[in-house]
Amino acid sequence: MMIHKTQETFFPVPAFLLFRSVGIDISDQTIRYAELAYKKKQLTVARHGMVALSPGIITGGIIHDQEKVIEVLRTFARKEGISRVRVSLPEEQVYTFRLHLPVIAHTDIMDTIALQLEEHVPIKATETVFDYAVLAYHNDAVDVQVTAVSKEIIDSYITVFTRAEMTPIAFEVETQSIARAVVKEGDSGAVMIVDFGETRTSISVVLDGVVLFGTTIDMGGDLITASIEKAFSIPFAEAEKIKREQGLLHTDTSSESFQIILNSTSVLRDEISKNYLYWNTYTDDKGRPRPLIKEIILCGGNANLIGLPEYLSASLHVSARLADPWANINTLDSYIPPIEHNDSLGYACALGLALADFEYD
């Protein structure tokens, strides 16, 4: 897990001693990696890439075939000379919750959280790995955000990476990595991030740079493609092309495909709406509301569906836009990244992981 913020703030690693790492984002279908480095005093992409995974090797973030994952990882690690890595953990395998604790020494916070762990996580404390971030200090209390995951899941990831000859220096929830990349540093408002992937979509809310809420639904862009494939009895690849070219544009010649895409996309909209309303209408035990979500940021390999931001903005009455994965990396005024914009939406997690090396430069 990541070192919690209190320790990183008080004991930052000097930049000249810090060996840079490669961010690796593992999903059920692909592995994406990215590394950042300074060039002419500006942060740039040193290397990046994507490797496809065969169906069933990983599902829902659970590794079912370690040998095949090791083979894939070892192949591109040797080819690219990758050794130190920061790795994403799938949101659906991670538990997050908030605790209001009395003011105690930082050294005692971990022990205090451990005693309350089983009240919030359906795993025995002895079988759980957890970390925390300090959200706020009060006169007599401190608010912390706790992230917990099964030790079995962590062990499986450590095993495949070490056997693939890479050293994982940190594991981080993918939604937090994405937030680091796409939420502009210093932005203190509440933002909803929708990571629209091939087979699933993660919905999270970020406040003051910390992910406070997250959920994953089993609906991705492949569901839209499959609906087109079935309706027109065409190959999946051809259906995918129609989805990419048509999107949510309604023309006289595309009314049938438009309706299919719209019907499938409405499932995603309904899930976003449900979580948007849940966040915005919640009050704590003292009746205090949360800060309202000010915008929705879209990322992931399917976020570039034509017309999606406009559709969500009109349906939910809140601004929705495509993410800028370079928001905290480079202004792009004098640098053109080697990743095209549409592709960069799928690299947000890997870029966010790589960016962690530079947070305290």
Residue 345: per-residue pLDDT: 95
Residues whose CB is less than 8 angstroms from the CB of residue 345 and which lie 6 or more positions away in sequence, other chains included? 298, 299, 300, 301, 303, 304, 322, 323, 325
Domain extent listing, the chain: 1-93+153-185+327-361, 186-322
* Helix (H), strand (E), coil (C) string for 79-123: HHCCCEEEEEECHHHEEEEEEEEECCCHHHHHHHHHHHHHHCCCC
Residue 361: per-residue pLDDT: 60
Task: Convert the pLDDT of each residue in 156-183 to its tens digit.
Answer: 999 999 999 999 999 999 999 999 999 9
Residue 19: per-residue pLDDT: 62
The Cα 211–Cα 116 span in angstroms is 20
- Domain 186-322, architecture per CATH: 2-Layer Sandwich (3.30)
pTM: 0.89
Task: Convert the pLDDT of each residue in 76-114 to its tens digit.
Answer: 999 999 999 999 998 888 999 989 888 777 778 889 999
The Cα 294–Cα 308 span in angstroms is 18
Residue 90: per-residue pLDDT: 86
Low-confidence ranges of the chain (pLDDT < 50): 2-17
Domain 1-93+153-185+327-361 belongs to what topology?
A: Nucleotidyltransferase; domain 5 (3.30.420)
Tell me whether the CATH fold assigned to 1-93+153-185+327-361 matches the one assigned to 186-322.
yes
Q: Are strands 201-207 and 190-196 parallel, antiparallel or unpaired?
A: antiparallel
Task: Convert the pLDDT of each residue in 141-153 to its tens digit.
Answer: 888 999 999 999 9
Residues whose CB is less than 8 angstroms from the CB of residue 280 and which lie 6 or more positions away in sequence, other chains included? 289, 290, 292, 293
